[in-house]
């Protein structure tokens, strides 16, 4: 089994959109996939899966990953099958966090490795069930929990947008965090890039120059550290209106096509 984390320095860069669509597409390619919402502070997977008719799971039927992590519920109970063959989901629960501050602090602060141990237990179970991919949608930034997710992952997809404010942060996360992880492979994914065609229609020379400088800045940040990280894929900016599983609901669609290409690369890594 491959454990693949989707992580970023900043929030709101596209981790959830990309990880959900990737996980579903891998399942459509016949891989047995488990997708975990590990953004414990701001879980959002439920809005994708309950808003789609294909996943008509009742919200009350879920045992959340949060419960498993604090010692209630087994891995078996938190892994939900879906109507899509090979696709399983694990959701996190925002209510627990809202209602119980004790649980919140247990989950977001240093816990002497207890959460890490639960994650390893979960991965052992997934291995025993012959999952081929475990996709983890992480919390952004460097937090105890995002570090736990990164430690248990074989591959880390670093999602970044070509904006200057993310470039410096990216360098920091690479040097402070990624470079300390042994036996982990890193790949950068650029998201929300403007293509030359897009840029041709709008901007002035200044915008164009900033966009090009930002792209160069990211490329050199990825190469400038002890780790050399290649850009595995670049997703263009598409006007999205909702949180959707494009690969299920929109085929053909340019974004669906890009996810399919990305998944082919992921499978062949
Ligand atoms: N390639 C893209 N083109 C257009 N919009 C995008 C693209 N990727 C992501 N978005 C939009 O950006 C917003 C943030 O995406 P998403 O929620 O996936 O980010 P995130 O990294 O998971 O955020 P958080 O760190 O808060 O969990 C969403 O509205 C999403 O639809
Ligand atoms: Mg998210």
CATH of the domain at 136: 3.40.50.300
What digits encode the pLDDT tens for the residues 136-152? 999 999 988 889 999 99
pLDDT averaged per 10 residues, the chain (length 269): 96 94 96 94 78 61 86 91 91 67 63 85 97 97 90 96 89 89 93 76 73 86 85 88 82 92 97
| DSSP secondary structure letters along 3-56 | EEEEE-SSSSSSHHHHHHHHHHHHHHTT--EEEEEE-TTS--HHHHHTTSGGG-
- Ligand lying nearest the CA atom of residue 240: 1
Q: For the beta carbon of residue 76, count every other beta carbon within 10 angstroms.
A: 10
| pLDDT (0 to 100) of residue 202 | 66
How far away, in angstroms, is 42 Cα from ligand 2 center? 7
What digits encode the pLDDT tens for the residues 39-87? 887 878 877 876 555 666 666 677 889 889 888 889 999 998 888 999 9
Which residues 6+ apart lie within 8 Å of 78 measured at CB?
63, 64, 65, 67, 68, 90
| pLDDT (0 to 100) of residue 73 | 86
Residues 192 and 162: their CA atoms lie apart, in Å, by 8
Boundaries of domain holding 47: 2-268
Structural domains of the chain, count: 1
- Ligand lying nearest the CA atom of residue 37: 2
Please name the residue whose Cα sits nearest to atom 14 of ligand 1.
Answer: 12
- Ligand lying nearest the CA atom of residue 45: 2
Tokens 């002035």 -> residue:
204
How far away, in angstroms, is 128 Cα from ligand 1 center? 33
Pocket lined around ligand 1, Cβ cut-off 6 Å? 8, 11-17, 39, 42, 44, 140, 191-192, 235, 237-238, 240
Q: Name the strands in the sheet holding 133-138, side by side, starting at the edge strand that comes first in the sequence.
A: 80-81, 87-90, 33-38, 133-138, 2-7, 155-160, 185-193, 230-236
| pLDDT (0 to 100) of residue 3 | 98
């Amino acid at each position: 089994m491959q454990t693949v984390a989707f992580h970023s320095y900043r929030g709101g860069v596209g981790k959830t959109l990309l990880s959900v669509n990737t996980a579903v597409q891998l399942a459509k390619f016949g891989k047995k996939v488990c997708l975990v919402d590990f953004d414990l502070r701001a879980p959002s997977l439920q809005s994708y899966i309950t808003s789609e008719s294909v996943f008509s799971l009742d919200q009350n039927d879920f045992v959340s990953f949060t419960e498993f992590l604090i010692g209630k519920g087994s891995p078996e109970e938190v892994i939900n099958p879906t109507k899509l063959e090979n696709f399983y989901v694990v959701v996190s629960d925002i209510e627990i966090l809202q209602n119980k501050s004790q649980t919140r602090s247990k989950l977001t602060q240093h816990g002497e490795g207890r959460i890490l141990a639960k994650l390893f237990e979960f991965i052992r179970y997934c291995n025993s069930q012959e999952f081929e991919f475990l996709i983890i949608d992480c919390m952004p930034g460097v937090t105890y929990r995002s570090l736990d997710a990164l430690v248990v992952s074989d591959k880390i997809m670093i999602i970044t947008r070509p904006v200057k404010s993310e470039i410096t942060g990216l360098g920091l996360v690479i040097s402070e965090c990624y470079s300390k992880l042994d036996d982990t492979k890193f790949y950068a994914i650029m998201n929300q890039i403007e293509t030359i065609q897009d840029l041709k229609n709008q901007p002035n020379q200044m915008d164009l120059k900033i966009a090009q400088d930002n792209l160069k800045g990211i490329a050199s940040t990825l190469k400038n550290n002890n780790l050399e990280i290649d850009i595995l894929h670049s997703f263009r900016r598409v006007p999205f209106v909702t949180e959707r599983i494009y690969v299920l609901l929109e085929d053909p669609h340019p974004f669906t096509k890009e996810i399919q290409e990305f998944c082919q690369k992921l499978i062949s890594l």
